[in-house]
Amino acid sequence: MSKTVFLVADGMAGWPLDILGGRTSLHAASTPTLDLLAPKSRCGLCRTVPHGMPPGSDVANMSLLGYDPQTHHTGRGPIEAAAQGLTLDQDDLVWRMNLVRLTELTDAGVMLDYSAGHISTPEAAPLVARLADMAGGTPFQAVQGIQYRHLLVQRGGALTDAAELAIRPPHDILDQNIAQDLTAYASFPEMLAFLQTAHEYLRAETTSEATSVWPWGQGRPLELPAFAERFGLRGAVVSAVDLVKGLGRAAGMEVLEVPGANGLIDTNYEGKVEAALDFLQRGEFVYVHVEAPDECGHMGDAALKKRAIELFDQRIVAPILAALAHEDATIVVTCDHFTPVARRTHTEDPVPFLIYRTQAPRTDGPNVFNEDTAKGAGLFINDGRELLTFCLGPDA
Ligand SMILES: [Zn+2]
């Protein structure tokens, strides 16, 4: 049976930049493998973020995995809870909880860093453990994740107004005032009290750059129809980030663990490739997610983003292609959403994709692969979940 591989570089697409001579990071990057594939591939654009939904990786990756976010998306927190296999009640409300750095937790406060200086997991673990203790006797349960990404479970919260609080994702408000979010938190006094307790503790604890927690992306527990039944494929995901693992786990896919996969530019690329290829011995679909280009976009670092894309080409796409070149395989290269360096956050622009069939290469693809050439290829998939169906069908 043929194999299908999705190679997803988070936030890879972007907008043209003056410092790159009017090119995007993807365009400016040296990507010999993508440029080799492009002429032999079906390229186009895909709308992974439905109109009116926030352009988050949670929404966009759900689309790429073939599920309609408008039906299934309840929030980012619930997806990451699925990754951890947390036991939840239907009425629980699950928040993503970032460790962040603020100037202060007042209406004059400013969001300085959504990642608390990219805090490491060993640094973060004791802090979150202590926060969990401090939440004793409240409806809140702090749950450790990785790096700056943790969870806050609010028992019975789905039945309260807290489910509706509009808190902005911290990576969207870098260097911005936080008064509007504090006002929203304050409408739920137990939440504000928890934030204040956490802030006092973290400010006094000078071992890290974290000064506060920032709960957001809340929702009811996630439920997805099984991937195997929906698409008739045994599938797996490979990713360093909890939200992709959570989507996979909720869809009943295998979640392949790779030591040293960390979501940064020095991730274990070879380990991810090996895990994906190993799975294809027993399955038909694998989704390989690389986080680094997105992180570089958030950092506003054009040169580093370009480098992250080059490493993706060289250490993910190239070895996957080499291993599958003589098998019956469909290799799809895309990203979940744009993370333009100039914006330092996600946008909802439709994403470029490339579909290469090893046994049926095309001859009419673009010379190279980037945002412009994908758009110029003329194929537009308006409903993101249809990209997977399209790739499995005869027309790709
Ligand atoms: Zn991002």
Determine the distance separating the centroid of ligand 1 and the alpha carbon of 172, expressed in angstroms: 9
Determine the distance separating the centroid of ligand 1 and the alpha carbon of 344, expressed in angstroms: 9
pLDDT at 263: 82
Place of tokens 């926030």: 54
Query: Which residues contact residue 198 at a Cβ distance below 8 angstroms, ignoring those fewer than 6 apart?
Result: 131, 134, 212, 213
Residues 165 and 33 both lie in one domain? no
Determine the distance separating the centroid of ligand 1 and the alpha carbon of 55, expressed in angstroms: 9
Separation between Cα atoms, residue 21 and residue 388, nearest integer Å: 34
Residues 233 and 363 both lie in one domain? yes
User: Tens of pLDDT along 87-116?
Assistant: 999 999 999 999 999 999 999 999 999 999
Residues 31 and 164 both lie in one domain? no
Residues 98 and 36 both lie in one domain? no
DSSP E strands: which ranges in 157-284?
A: 212-219, 235-238, 254-256
Strands 329-334 and 254-256: unpaired
Determine the distance separating the centroid of ligand 1 and the alpha carbon of 358, expressed in angstroms: 31
Separation between Cα atoms, residue 77 and residue 167, nearest integer Å: 13
The domain boundary, picked from 182, 202, 219, lies at: 219
Determine the distance separating the centroid of ligand 1 and the alpha carbon of 127, expressed in angstroms: 24
Determine the distance separating the centroid of ligand 1 and the alpha carbon of 309, expressed in angstroms: 15
The domain boundary, picked from 176, 191, 219, lies at: 219
Determine the distance separating the centroid of ligand 1 and the alpha carbon of 294, expressed in angstroms: 5
For the record, the structure tokens of 190 come out as 């137990």
Separation between Cα atoms, residue 87 and residue 94, nearest integer Å: 11
| Angle (CA) 59 244 330, round 5° | 95
**What percent of the chain is modeled with pLDDT above 90?**
93
List the CATH number of the domain containing 341. 3.40.720.10
Q: Are 66 and 231 in contact (CB under 8 A)?
A: yes
Determine the distance separating the centroid of ligand 1 and the alpha carbon of 298, expressed in angstroms: 7
User: Tens of pLDDT along 239-254?
Assistant: 998 889 999 999 999 9
pLDDT at 373: 98
pLDDT at 377: 97
Please state the domain count of the chain. Answer: 2
pLDDT at residue 150 is higher than 90: yes
Taking residues 161-188, report their average pLDDT.
94
Residues 283 and 182 both lie in one domain? no
Q: Which residues span the domain enclosing 381?
A: 3-73+224-392
Q: Are 83 and 243 in contact (CB under 8 A)?
A: yes
Q: Are 216 and 96 in contact (CB under 8 A)?
A: yes
Query: Average pLDDT, whole number, for the chain?
Result: 96
Determine the distance separating the centroid of ligand 1 and the alpha carbon of 229, expressed in angstroms: 30
The domain boundary, picked from 162, 186, 219, lies at: 219
User: Tens of pLDDT along 270-289?
Assistant: 999 999 999 999 999 999 99
Taking residues 324-350, report their average pLDDT.
96
